Structure formats: C-alpha cells, structure tokens
Amino acid sequence: MKKLLILIPIVVAMIFFSCDKEDVKIKRLNRGKGIWQIETIEYFTYDSLGAHVVKDTTIAHAGELVVFTTKTLDGLYGYRLMVADMNDASGNFTATFPGEIYDDGTRVDIRNSSPAVSFLWTIDKNENRKQVWSTYSLKPDGSVSEKITMTLKKGD
C-alpha cells in the first residue's frame, strides 16, 4: 500500500507533464489528409502603438482545403498536395488554387510555382479536427501591420 501511495503521485505527475504539448507539437495535420473547411478568415489590424488590435473583417465559410498525399519524390520530404477552393463573401465559389503543403508542427508552408504563391503560416492551434493558422504583414517601419487568422475544421 505504501508503494502504491508513492507510485500514484509519480504517475499523475508524469501524465501532467506529458500533457503539456506546447513544446512538442504532434504533426497532426500530417495525419489530416482530407477536407479541411475554412470556418473563418479574420483580419486584425495593429494600431500605431502596436498594443491594441482591432478586428476589421471576418469572412465566414471562406472555402476549403483538400489535402492528399503524393507518391512523387516530394512525398519523401513530407509534402502533400493541396487544392484550395475559395468562396466570396457571400459563400459562392470563386477560385481554385492548387499547391503543395508541408507542416512541421509549428508552421504550415503552402507553395505553388504557377501562379507563384508562397505562404508561411504559424500554427496557433494544432488539434486533430481543428487548426488555427496565422500570418502577418509589416508596416514600412518594420512593426506589425496586420494579422490574418484562418480557422480550419476537419470535414466529415
């Protein structure tokens, strides 16, 4: 019984520490081939002090990302192919963008050579069925001007 009293807190502590996954993010998107619906795209603007953020615009149901694996050489490096089907503000389909997508648990790299598109998103939330990605742009003085946040939900 004494040994159990020692063992239980140790196991609980180990589970507690193991659950802090901020540092070791599992590559959930890598298992996430399929359809990811873009729930929202939000635009945030930083004011001159940079200390306050104003949300200018939110676009709901902006489209979807269709992610699938490839057997080409790029597949060896963890790349997958992706098609982004984008809607307008009314939810009507407007355009399709094919590309490659790669994630390392911290960032998502979306690239295409024609048309030349290259995005490096930061993963804010990395869950099996929900992802939140952000990308930033700068003012001429180098301070942050705008943040775009995209919330994705795994399709059924």
Partner 1 sequence: MISFFGEVGYNAGFMHSKQLPIFYNGYNTYFQNSGLSKKFDTGKAIGMMNGEFYDFGIGIGTDSKFIIGLQGFLLKSKPNQVRFTVNDGRDISVGMRMTNVEIGYRISSSDKLFFQLHANLGFGTYSVYSAYVCPDGSKSFGSEHVMNGIYSDFTGEAGGGFEFGFKLLPCTYLVFHCDYYKSLVSKKNGQYHDFQDLSLTKSNITENYLPVDYSAYLNQSLQGSENSIYNDIKGFKLSVGLQFKTK
Contacts with partner 1 by CB under 8 A lie at 3-4, 6-7, 10-11, 13-14, 17-18, 23-24, 46, 49-53, 102, 104, 106-107, 109, 111, 118-122, 124, 134-138, 143-144, 147
Nearer to partner 1, 62 or 101 (CB): 101
Cα-Cα-Cα-Cα torsion 103, 89, 39, 74, nearest 10 degrees, comes to -20
Whole-angstrom Cα distance, residue 36 to residue 151? 10
Name the minimum Å distance from CB 19 to partner 1.
10
Name the minimum Å distance from CB 51 to partner 1.
5
2, 78, 120, 132, 139 from 37: Cα distances, Å: 52, 22, 19, 12, 31
Nearer to partner 1, 58 or 94 (CB): 58
Whole-angstrom Cα distance, residue 126 to residue 27? 8
Cis peptide before 9 (omega within 30 of 0): no
Nearer to partner 1, 64 or 103 (CB): 103
Name the minimum Å distance from CB 30 to partner 1.
15
SS3 content of the chain, % helix, strand, coil (to 5): 15, 55, 30
**Coil, strand or helix at 112:** strand
Name the minimum Å distance from CB 107 to partner 1.
5
Nearer to partner 1, 14 or 89 (CB): 14
Name the minimum Å distance from CB 155 to partner 1.
26
Nearer to partner 1, 94 or 139 (CB): 139
